[in-house]
Chain A
């Protein structure tokens, strides 16, 4: 069975600090996909990134970066120089190759204070 754990329920930082959101997953498949979504106060989940299990290359997109390590089954998300607009709930999710659904973690509430 697949499972996603986001151990950090809530994180508070001051603007311009760097922050890392942790994600640990469990799956029996060798082929799977990992996702990060952002949920701002408006409620709509916004897709941030997708990574397949064969691509362990880290990715950077502006202030966002992702560290995928199969050895530790982790897919962590770092925001550099955080801003107030980064305040949101962030979800990590997993999709297996032969499944048709996304399994989400419980989410991490990020509060960035000015």
Chain B
């Protein structure tokens, strides 16, 4: 089945540790996104990538890093610099050429808890 796979689904991290969340898609979509979801705040954009080897900061990029070495993969690293990393992280993608007109396809999310 085509879709977006995020892993792990649940992750616990100690303070001061970096952690990487995986996002893989087999939809052949060019654009990929990372959103953070907190209760009562909706989804906020962390990073997005429109093409391989290129990505842009979203609204809350501080403390996060990404890479886009392959079209199907867009991993997110939550670094120790992120002050409040406990949240639900959602990866999304959409086809090229749809830009603002096309809906996003979402993964099932990864819940990160910092102990």
Chain A residues proximal to chain B, CB less than 8 Å: 4, 6, 9, 32-33, 35, 37, 42-47, 50, 52, 91, 95-102, 104-107
- 21 A-B pairs with CB atoms under 8 Å apart are A4-B42, A35-B103, A37-B106, A43-B90, A43-B108, A44-B107, A44-B108, A45-B43, A45-B92, A47-B104, A47-B105, A50-B102, A100-B99, A101-B45, A101-B48, A101-B58, A102-B43, A102-B45, A104-B35, A104-B42, A106-B40
Chain B residues proximal to chain A, CB less than 8 Å: 31, 33, 35, 40-45, 48, 50, 56, 58, 88, 90, 92, 99-109, 111
A95→B43 contact, CB < 8 A: no
A100→B100 contact, CB < 8 A: yes
A100→B103 contact, CB < 8 A: no
Interface of B is mostly: strand
- Neighbour of B100 across the interface among A9, A47, A99, CB < 8 A: A99
Q: With A and B bound together, what is the CA distance between A42 and B6 in angstroms?
A: 13
Known: A43-B108, A44-B108. A91 touches B45 (CB 8 A): no
A77 → chain B, closest Cβ, in Å?
15
A105→B42 contact, CB < 8 A: yes
- Neighbour of A33 across the interface among B48, B100, B109, CB < 8 A: B100
A58 → chain B, closest Cβ, in Å?
19
- Residues on B with beta carbons closer than 8 Å to the beta carbon of A100: 31, 48, 50, 56, 99-100
B104→A102 contact, CB < 8 A: yes
